[in-house]
Amino acid sequence: MPELPEVETVRRTVEPLIANRTITGVSVGAFSGVIGAHEVGEFTARVTGRRFLAARRRAKYLLLDLDDGTSLMVHLRMTGELAVVPHREGPLRFQHLALHLDDGTDLRYCDQRKFGRVLLLERREVRRLERRFGPEPLGPKFTAQYLAEGFARRPGKVKSVIMDQEFIAGVGNIYADEALFRARVHPGRSARGLDAHEVRALHRAIRGVLREGVERHGTTIQSFRDASGREGQNQEHLCVYGLGDRAPCPRCGWPLERTVVGGRGTSFCPRCQRMPGDARRMRLPRQREGTDGSAPSRGKAVTRD
């Protein structure tokens, strides 16, 4: 599922293509559920003639503000994609909705699994949505002190806690695994059990992996594309996500392991991210050199958990 960096990438690429553009018509495919409970005729009448003002992001949701105070809320879920293409271009694969714009382009929504939605929300509904989530982790309200105080009130495992959208907005499975690895914190540890140094390290790591994910235009595991149809590049820089039981740790060389935390597949290094009290002696076996004298290369196969 797209996380903060992926949705932010879509926002940044779609906004300059639709800002100040007026919707001149709507085409809804066979799956009318893409627009939620609205009837197609009602939805079409309400958005036709409206002008896009801006594109915003809250947590994993994209908000496209219209000039009458309403917003189109886009939730990409697992396989949703937004694309801006010329109106003359034929239907895209898995296309369910097209908003025709006054410059001859369409804003189209495609979704193979049909889990995502494009919903027309009133201003009060947008405010209610925005209040559901915790602080944006790249914003000023997300501090190490906030993290420490939140951990003290939450008894769950640290990975599940940082993925709680009411606590921190926008962190999902990919960036949780990467942040915990960077901070050297085992994903199965109790959030309450982290000391001040570990909390500060995890705070820096969360911000770091998300910022880098945005800079690299998101992580494409299967289907993620930005509004121009480009894949992200962050998948080339993942250290542990999706690599449990199939690759060595990029930091110490120990085999990565895979477990399940909060129902989510989780990859980690048992040597770098030890559980408290784990006194096992983990000595790497001597690696066999290649014929050219170099160490064996590390595989980078990535799968979605």
Residues marked active site are found at 2-3, 60, 264
**Distance (Å, whole) CA 233 – CA 206:** 18
For residue 31, give the DSSP letter: -
**Distance (Å, whole) CA 176 – CA 178:** 5
The answer to whether the beta carbons of residues 210 and 219 sit under 8 Å apart is no
Reported for 123-126, long-range contacts at CB under 8 A and 24+ positions apart, including other chains, are: 123/69, 123/70, 123/71, 126/63, 126/71, 126/73
Alpha helices by DSSP H, listed for 86-243, are: 123-131, 144-153, 158-162, 173-183, 196-215
**Distance (Å, whole) CA 121 – CA 72:** 6
Instruction: Give the contacts of 125 (CB within 8 A, at least 6 positions apart).
Output: none
Q: How far is residue 47 from each of residues 22, 44, 204, 276, 293, measured CA to CA in Å?
A: 9, 6, 42, 56, 65
